[in-house]
Structure 1
Amino acid sequence: MLSALRAHSKGDPNKLVGGYMSHGRRFREFLFGDSSAIGIAVEPMKYITKKKGSVQVSQPTVDEVGKYLKRWNALENYHLQEDALDKLFFSLCPNNTDISDILIKVSTLNDFYSTNIFSVYPVAKHILSMDVDARLKAGDVTLISDIQKVTINGVEKNFYSFATKYCSHHNPLEFPIYDSYVEKVLKYFRDKDGFSVFTNVDLKDYIRFKGVLIDFRKFYNLEQYNLKEIDKYIWQLGKEYFPNNYGKSK
């Protein structure tokens, strides 16, 4: 800056620097809405003062859901993974009376969804002990809380998201999946539109979580879609607008 002043200005450049810096600060304060610094009332330039990280998610509509469902089907890795899981859960290993079948399903879900289960055998053994098939078929949502808590090496683990995935892949219409992306979208629209009354902690209670999803579907007039379709839509919104800084969440 000093070299530029020497070349293009008269007078001592060292004295001129202070004046130019002062004008620069005053101009910046004008741009960012600090009118007290220049002694006049000004409107801040809103496109400059927009908060970093602010998000504007498109309003849920029938057309928006349809658009995201088409997008899901166009993403080969997503729908082929789901097709493989459907084959495993519905055709190859539909029941939960054999530890080997349960181990295959737990291991596959853990790998596909990165559910961070480091020892799958205790989880599979836990599921086997509960005789879950009739409850899965009936859509018994209390089953989630029974599956999610597993004691491994004397420590109780809480595999809530995994439990929703395990049940959902047996009965997708009755067991929507909880996931961090879904949670973020539900909280966003709660704060924006007040579509349902719930606390953040409520979403970790599966009965409340499912009720919130039903509220979401009703509030935005999306009843033509089942809960599995709503889940696919919300999950994609979360992944698009609220991405995690680490691996795959679901």
Structure 2
Amino acid sequence: MTNITNLTYKNLSNLFAEIAYMNEDKSYVEVTFKKLEDYCGFRIINLYRPSFWTNDPLNAFAYYWLSHGILLHNVDIEKEMITFYVDLKNEISSNISENDFPYLYEEFTKPTKEDVDYYLSIYQRDQQRISDDTILKNLFSTEMPSNTKFNQVSIKVAAIDQYFSRNLYHFRTIARHIVNLNIDKDLETGNSEIVNEIAKVKFSSYKEINNYKFATRYCYYHNPEEFPFYDPVIKDIINEHKRTSRIGGILQQDFLNYTKYKNILKKFRSYYGFEEYSLEDITIYLYYYGMSKFPKKYAKLFQKE
């Protein structure tokens, strides 16, 4: 895992100060990945994701080039080259067009209530998904709401494994783990901390597996209103909106901390004025919206589920 330290930020600040000083009479400046890596101390290729390469001042890395009057213009992953625009006179707004600076403009339009309703209607027309969700909600909340009996919990764990092709490792151990947690009251009251406890299963003194996505589904089918499910496509779509808006205070690791993940969903809902929708609605909307925006990445998973 990349270790980003205070020294890294200081080095980056020095680099962009140097770029601004040495290129004050130029517009576009190319910087190789290697040069940036020499200052960072780690491989830039490991950070090649849309949420990093942005001119959003809320992005910790972008702050360092923006604070020196520099804008990100282009990232060429094949040539391992980054192009910056030295904008010391702050003329960017009048001289640079949207086509010149795609990193400054939204690729994702601001979502509306009509958008939410549209993707919720797609969900309602998805007969296979509606059928699966209805069966699982009935199994979890009506037929077997308790989680104190090993056989019943095993059935529920196996059901999620079957319906969502999770290929869970040793689901009987997972079922025993859930029984030992005594989670019924937590599920009823919506205690979000229980999700991460369910997710982390210890199989031996040296082997622990984090079934986070499974754990969110397990809680969701018991209490959909209090436990919106997690899926990577939801994280990706929120990251895109974060990159092209001013939704601040969202860290990548927060998505895998269920209490913080739930707060992210609330923040997204509040930011766009979607308070009339439940968190379950917001999650379903983001899930189907994400599937439409990233078809190549998630088509295979979508077919499974």
Instruction: State the match for 1:191 in structure 2.
Output: 243
Superposition map of 1:171-186 within 5 A: 171-186=223-238
Alignment-mate amino acid for residue 141 of structure 1: S
Instruction: State the match for 2:301 in structure 1.
Output: 248
Shift in Å at residue 168 of structure 1? 1.0
Q: In 2, Cα distance between the equivalents of 1:133 and 1:242?
A: 36
Instruction: State the match for 1:237 in structure 2.
Output: 289
For residues 114 and 57 of structure 1, do their structure 2 counterparts lie closer, same or farther at Cα, with a shift above 3 Å needed? Answer: farther
Q: In 2, Cα distance between the equivalents of 1:200 and 1:216?
A: 15
Q: In 2, Cα distance between the equivalents of 1:99 and 1:196?
A: 43
Listed as ranges, the gaps of 5+ residues in structure 2 are 1-95
1:191-227 CA distance string (max 9 Å, x none): 1112232111121111111111000000101011000
Aligned partner (choices 129, 152, 157) of residue 106 of structure 1: 157
Instruction: State the match for 2:110 in structure 1.
Output: 59
Alignment-mate amino acid for residue 248 of structure 1: L
Larger radius of gyration: 1
**RMSD across aligned C-alpha pairs, in angstroms?**
2.5
Q: Secondary structure at the match of 2:300?
A: coil
Indicate whether 1:144 and 2:195 are aligned: yes
Contact 2:150 2:179 in 1 (8 A): yes
State the aligned residue count. 205
Q: Secondary structure at the match of 1:157?
A: strand
Q: In 2, Cα distance between the equivalents of 1:245 and 1:70?
A: 20
Q: Secondary structure at the match of 2:181?
A: coil
Instruction: State the match for 1:210 in structure 2.
Output: 262
Q: In 2, Cα distance between the equivalents of 1:59 and 1:119?
A: 43
Q: Secondary structure at the match of 2:201?
A: strand
TM-score normalized by the length of structure 1: 0.75
Q: Percent identity?
A: 28
Alignment-mate amino acid for residue 125 of structure 2: A
1:72-127 CA distance string (max 9 Å, x none): 10111111111111111122111111111111111111121222313110100000
Deviates more, 1:239-248 or 1:174-183: 239-248
Q: In 2, Cα distance between the equivalents of 1:125 and 1:177?
A: 22
Alignment-mate amino acid for residue 188 of structure 1: E
Alignment-mate amino acid for residue 186 of structure 1: I
Aligned partner (choices 196, 208, 213) of residue 161 of structure 1: 213
Contact 2:217 2:229 in 1 (8 A): yes
Alignment-mate amino acid for residue 129 of structure 1: N
Listed as ranges, the gaps of 5+ residues in structure 1 are 1-42
Contact 1:57 1:241 in 2 (8 A): no
Q: In 1, Cα distance between the equivalents of 2:230 and 2:246?
A: 20
Q: In 1, Cα distance between the equivalents of 2:298 and 2:234?
A: 16
Which has the larger share of strand? 2
